[in-house]
């Protein structure tokens, strides 16, 4: 099994959908929400932007953690603030 990518806050912020995928972080896990129709406009429910850690805002959501089990939401790595690297767009295929 390949080693899981670790994202810094700067890397996560670059994954805002502007020039690649839309990623969010929740409880130390980074998810690709690019395929979700709820994120298609680049803002979720008029409140949340991609490229952010949403752990502190989740308690206000009308859903639970089961949302991350949806097949269109993909786990892409872990979130830590002391790592460097680049966020790259997913390959289409």
- Per-residue pLDDT tens over the stretch 41-66: 666 555 667 888 888 766 666 666 77
What percent of the chain clears pLDDT 90, i.e. is strictly above it? 28
Q: State whether CATH 3.40.50.1470 applies to domain 5-79.
A: no
Rounded-to-integer distance, Cα 56 and Cα 60, Å: 9
* Domain boundary assignment for the chain: 5-79
Rounded-to-integer distance, Cα 22 and Cα 40, Å: 9
């Amino acid at each position: 099994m390949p080693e899981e990518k670790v994202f810094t806050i700067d890397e996560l912020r670059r994954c805002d959908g502007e020039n690649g995928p839309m990623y969010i972080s929740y409880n130390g896990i980074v998810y690709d929400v690019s395929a979700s129709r709820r994120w298609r406009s680049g803002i979720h429910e008029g409140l949340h932007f991609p490229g952010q850690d949403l752990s502190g805002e989740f308690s206000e959501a009308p859903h639970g953690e089961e949302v991350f089990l949806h097949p269109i939401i993909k786990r892409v790595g872990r979130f830590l603030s002391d790592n460097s690297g680049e966020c790259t767009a997913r390959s289409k295929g």
